[in-house]
Amino acid sequence: MSVLVDSGTKLVVSGLTGREGSFHGMNNRRYGTDLVAGVTPGKGGQDVEGVPVFDTVHEAVAETGANTSMIFVPPRFAADAILEAADAGIELVVCITEGIPVHDMLRVYTHLRRGPTRLIGPNCPGILSPGKANVGIIPAHFFSEGNVGLVSRSGTLTYQIGNELAQRGFGNSSIVGIGGDPVQGSSFIEIIDLFQADPQTELIVMCGEIGGEDEERAAEHVAEHVDKPVVAYIAGFTAPPGKTMGHAGAIISGSKGTAQAKAEALEAKGVRVGRTPTEVAEIAAEIAGATV
């Protein structure tokens, strides 16, 4: 199996007529994702390489049965695009857009918590279930189908750790990039729970970074609710306090949110933490060997 996206995914892309939306939307289709529609207000009736474009998500859902939305619109319009998809009954929204104002995302987060729509992102690389579907910007050629579930705040580190795992013969059930903004649609805990319930996933890899307390909360949750082995990596061991490192949410405040503090919290709950992507893959290989 897999989590979130699979062969039953029917994708609609908000911003399909734009440069980035068309480039990645068509890449997703070439991978095998069922791209059924695009949405750009004022361009309804057009098409992008045979994919019909609609003025609204409601029209796209009614005509094509789309159940997953990918957002590729400018930051000032992205919050409304997410809410439009949710209002149209879309089950899963993957928002690639970065730079969305925090206040806008607080409004989106509060609204979505009242309904059934799940949001991945914003400022994320998306979701890949190897051999089934790719929704986002993840370079799928790095990955093959297997039993490792990977959840990460960082896109680039997702690719690096995935490549390290692949070199040791590991494939993935799904790869989920939750994004690095301060307000995220889905947390480590929520995605780890999906992997816990997924029969295909036998090992979970979590890639975090400095800032916030998500990794510490995940450590507590794993200890109480997860019986599958979990390996973690925290980016930012050398990051100075008070400096934003890469993502908007990656900032240390005093002694809280440091890579060392996160690693210690995870290790105290039985989660092994690699200090480099290579070490993460080595630990995964060791655990896999011990369970055979």
- On whether both 105 and 215 belong to a single domain, the answer is no
**How far is it, in rounded angstroms, from Cα 270 to Cα 273?**
9
What integer pLDDT is reported at residue 113 of this predicted model? Answer: 95
Among 72-81, 90-99, 281-290, whose mean pLDDT is lowest? 281-290
In a domain, 78, yes or no: yes
* Domain around 103: 10-120
Classify residue 287 as exposed, middle or buried by CB count within 10 Å of its CB (0-12, 13-18, 19+). middle
What CATH number does the domain containing 160 carry?
A: 3.40.50.261
In a domain, 132, yes or no: no
111's CB contacts (< 8 A; 6+ apart) are 83, 86
pLDDT digits (tens, 9 = 90+) for 156-188: 888 888 889 988 989 999 999 999 898 999 999
pTM summary value = 0.93
What percent of the chain is predicted at pLDDT more than 70? 92
- On whether both 22 and 59 belong to a single domain, the answer is yes
Among 146-150, 224-228, 268-272, 274-278, whose mean pLDDT is lowest? 274-278
Whether residue 217 has pLDDT greater than 90:
yes
What percent of the chain is predicted at pLDDT more than 90? 78
In this prediction, residue 250 has a pLDDT band, given cuts at 50, 70 and 90, of very low
> Which of 58, 103, 221, 247 is an active site residue?
247
- On whether both 203 and 255 belong to a single domain, the answer is yes
Whether residue 292 has pLDDT greater than 70:
no
pLDDT digits (tens, 9 = 90+) for 135-163: 999 999 889 999 999 999 988 888 888 88
pLDDT digits (tens, 9 = 90+) for 83-95: 999 999 999 999 9
Whether residue 116 has pLDDT greater than 70:
yes
Can 225 be counted among the known catalytic residues? no
Whether residue 243 has pLDDT greater than 70:
no
- On whether both 202 and 276 belong to a single domain, the answer is yes
